[in-house]
Amino acid sequence: MDAAVRAARTSLSAREAAHPLFFLDFPAPPAHSPLNQDEGLQGMEMDSAPVRVNGIEGMFEGPILPLTLKLSIPFFISNVINLFYLIIDTYFITLIDRGSTALISGTGLVFPIYFLFIALTMGINIGVSSLVARAIGENNQAALERAADSGLLIAGILAVTCLVAGYVFGYDILHGLAGSELTEEAIANGLEFFYSLLPGMSILLLGSVLLGTLQGEGLTKYIATASVMSAVINVALDPVLIFWLDLGVAGAGLATTLGIAITAVYVIGIFAKNKSSIPIHWNVMRARWHLIAEIVRIGSLHSLGMITMSATFMLLNNLVSSIGQDAMNAWALCGRTDQLIFIPAFAISGATITMVGQNYGRGDLERVRHIYRFNILFGMALVFLLALVYNLSARTLFSAFSTVAGVIDSSVLQVRYLAFTILGVSVAMITAATFQATGRPAPALIITIVRMGLLAVPLAYLLSQYYGMGMPGVFISLALGNTLALPLSWGWAGLHLKHLRPRRLGE
C-alpha cells in the first residue's frame, strides 16, 4: 500500500464511515503478528504500484454476528436462488415426460461428474480466497499483485484438460457409472445432458479464480449477483431450449452452459471496472511458482476431499441404481432438494474463509477462535430449522416432481432418515473453512475420508446387499457418517485452534 497506509488507524471521515466498504488503514497489529516481523514480501519482487485494498468494516474488531451476516447473506441469497434453479430445472426436465423415470435417473448419473468439476472449481476458489485473505491480513503486497494470475494458470490447464477428456471418454464413463438395472434410455439421457453441460463446467473452472479473489477480499455481494444472474438466465432459457427448440435434456445442459458463459462476462467486468482492489493482468507469465504452490497446497486437498465425496457418490449411485430405477429416481431428486438444508452451512463457511483468513493473516488468534465458535453454533441453529421444515413438507414437495408412488415414498423416507444428520455435515463444512483459512487443509480431507470412505460407503454396501436392507441400509449408513462428522470436526478444530500460531505466506 502507499504511504497513506499506516500502522495506526487514522480517523475516517463521516462519509467514509457511513459505507461498509472503505479504503482500509490497518489498525496496529498485535505484538505477535507477522506484520511486526518484516515487510511481508517474502522475497517477492514488486514491479507495479502498491495495491490499496478495500476493507470490510468490522473485520478486525467488534461483534461477530454483524460481520458474519454481512459476508454470508449474499452467499445465502445466491444459494437460495440456485436451489430454486435446481428445483425448477428438475421440474422442466420432468415435464418432458411426467411418467418417465429414465429422465431424472439419467441426468442423476451425471451428478458425480458434475460434482468432480465442482470439486476442482472449489479447490481453486478456496486456494485463491485463502491466499488473498491472508495476504490482505499480512499486507503482503507482492502476493496480492500476482495471486489472480497465478490462479488463472492453474485453472486454464485444468479447463482444457477436462473439456477434452470429457468429450473423449464421456460415453465410457457414464456406462461405467450405470448400475445393472438402469436402462439404455436413461444412460442416453445422461449423455445428452453431460455433453451439453461440459463447456459450462470448463468456463466455471476459470471463473473460480475471479470469484475466489472476490471472496478473499470480502466482496461477496458480487459473488451473489453473479450466482443469481446465472440462475435467472438458466431458468429463462430452460423452456426455450428444452421445449421450443425441442432439445430435451440437452437443452437443460445447454441452458446451464449459456448461463455460466454470460455471467462470466459480468464477473470479468467487475475487475475491468476496478470494483475489486486486487489486480488481474490476464497474463499467466506473471504467475509465480510459490503462489501457485500455495494455491495448490490449500486447494488440492480441498478438491481431493470433494473428489473423495464424488467417488463415494459414484459408488452409491451404482449401488442405488442396482436396487431399482424408482430408487435411483428418488435418490437423484433428493440429491437436488437436500441442498435446501446445506444453504446456511455453505453461506457461513464462505464467510468464515474471509473472516478467519484475514484475522489469521493479521495475527489476531483470539478473534479467529471467537469467529469459529460463533459461526459453528449459528450455522447449526439455522440447519436445524431448515431440516425441520424439510421434514414437514417432504411429501408435498416430492409429489410435485413425480406421480410414481414408489419414487415419492422413497424420497420421503430418505428425508426422514437423513435431514437432521446434516447438522454434522454443517459443522464439518465450517470447520474445513477454518482449517483452510489458517493454511492447514489436511484435517478436512481426513474427516471426509473417515466419515464417507471408511464408514458410510462400505456400510451401505454391507447393509443393503449382504443383509438385504435395500435403501434403508443406505440411509442408515449415511446417517451414521454424517453424525460422526460433528464430534470429529469439533474436537479436532478445538485442538487446532488451541495450539494455533501465526505463520506467514511462504513459510
pLDDT, tens digit (0-9, with 9 covering 90-100), for 133-187? 888 888 887 788 888 889 899 999 999 999 999 899 888 888 777 766 677 788 8
Residue 89 lies in a domain: yes
Q: How many domains does the chain have?
A: 1
Where does the pLDDT of residue 51 fall: very low under 50, low under 70, confident under 90, or very high at 90 and above? low
In this prediction, residue 2 has a pLDDT band, given cuts at 50, 70 and 90, of very low
Within-domain flag for 445 = yes
Comparing 3 with 131, the larger pLDDT belongs to 131
State residue 122's pLDDT score: 87
Could you tell me the three cell numbers for 333?
431428486
Contact by Cβ (8 Å): 155, 209? yes
CA distance 306 to 123: 9
Assigned domain for 503 exists:
no
DSSP codes, 61-99:
SS-HHHHHHHHHHHHHHHHHHHHHHHHHHHHHHHHH-TT
Question: What contacts 217, CB < 8 A, 6 or more positions away?
Answer: 53, 54, 132, 133, 136, 276, 277, 278, 354
* Residue-level pLDDT at 505: 64
Rounded Cα–Cα distance for residues 210 and 189 (Å): 33
Considering the domain boundaries, does residue 506 fall inside one?
no
Give the model's pLDDT for residue 34. Answer: 39
Phi/psi region, residue 139 (left: phi>0; alpha: psi -120 to 50; beta: rest), is left
Q: Note whether residue 7 is domain-resident.
A: no
pLDDT band with cut points at 50, 70 and 90 for residue 7: very low
In this predicted structure, the answer to whether residue 14 has a pLDDT above a threshold of 90 is no
In a domain, residue 5? The reply is: no
What residue numbers bound the domain in which 234 lies? 14-498
Residue 483 included in any domain: yes
- 309 close to 115: Cβ distance less than 8 angstroms: yes
- pLDDT-wise least confident of 172-181, 277-286, 333-342, 423-432: 172-181
* 102 has a pLDDT exceeding 80: no
**Mean pLDDT on 67-88:** 83
Q: Cell 421434514 appears where?
A: 391
- pTM, two decimal places: 0.72
Say if residues 130 and 357 touch (Cβ distance below 8 Å).
yes
Quick check: is 249 in a domain? yes
What is the pLDDT of the chain when averaged over all its residues? 81
